[in-house]
Amino acid sequence: MLDVDVTKQLGQLKLEVAFQSDSPVIGLFGPSGAGKSSIINMIAGLSKPDRGTIKIGSETVDDTAIGLHVPPHRRRIGYVFQDARLFPHRNVSQNLDYGRRMNKLAPDPAHFERILNLLDIGHLKTRRPGQLSGGERQRVALGRALLAKPRLLLMDEPLGALDQERKAEILPYFERLRDEEHVPMVYVSHDPDETRRLAGHVVMLKHGRIAAQGGPEILPP
């Protein structure tokens, strides 16, 4: 599903990673500063590798050898950021519908309702992002990404800004997403428990390199 082989110089840190996996959820795990977010930003197309290739499914989206770089808006990915990044000038409903409109997808009310039910955000439709709690905001951001029907969902510490209680509230939604919607995910986290619950394949990063990769059993307790 995902095939990454890239190097990139980030100030002092030289990022050099290669991994590929067909697992429904790939966990990028490691301490902060290990290069996790840089990798996910390259997969999203928000930054370019200095050298290397990135393949999503059968499509090559980056290949520095031939100067190929597909811009983010043509990658058909969904990205859930740590800070939800909802559009403040649009209400929840308009935020949710944004990706569908930009990708010129036909309205799909059944899908819309299913995602809203899955995330329990139906009652928030007319609210403004400024009126939502942190957990609600993150669920709406997740819904917004999903409703664009991405072929790969990128999540960069989506629970990082939430307290323990909120984390426990949201994690089950991610599991349902994995088990019911079957959207492939790349899940970035520095929390071994979160990663263990979600990921089928774990890439462990340290100082810009892969320290280990394999099943969730490689995670520290």
Residues that bind another protein (CB under 8 A): 44-46, 71-73, 75-79, 81, 83, 85-89, 98-99, 102-103, 128-131, 144-145, 148, 154
Residue with Cβ nearer another protein (89 or 182): 89
Chain centroid to Cα 162, Å, comes to 16
In whole angstroms, how close is the CB of 135 to another protein at the nearest point? 17
**Of residues 70, 64, 52, 59, the one with CA closest to residue 6:** 52
Q: Which is nearer to another protein, 18 or 181 (CB)?
A: 181
Measured CA to CA, the distance from residue 31 to residue 194 in angstroms comes to 14
Structure tokens at 58: 């059968």
Q: CB of 92: closest distance to another protein in angstroms? A: 11
Q: How far is the CB of 150 from another protein (least distance, A)?
A: 9
Q: How far is the CB of 72 from another protein (least distance, A)?
A: 4
Nearer to another protein, 95 or 213 (CB): 95
Q: How far is the CB of 37 from another protein (least distance, A)?
A: 12
Query: Which CB atom, from 132 or from 219, has the smaller least distance to another protein?
Result: 132
Closest alpha carbon to 56 in 210, 215, 185 = 185
Cβ density class 119-154: b for 16+ within 10 Å, e for less: bebeebeebbbeebeebbbbbbbbbbbbbbebebbb
Round to whole Å and give the CA distance between 100 and 91: 15
* Closest among 42, 26, 27 to 16, alpha carbons compared: 42
Output 41 or 60, the one with its CB closest to another protein: 41
Residue 184 or 216 having the CB closest to another protein: 184
* Through-space distance between the first and last CA atoms of the chain, rounded to whole angstroms: 28
Q: Minimum CB separation from another protein for residue 44, in Å? A: 6
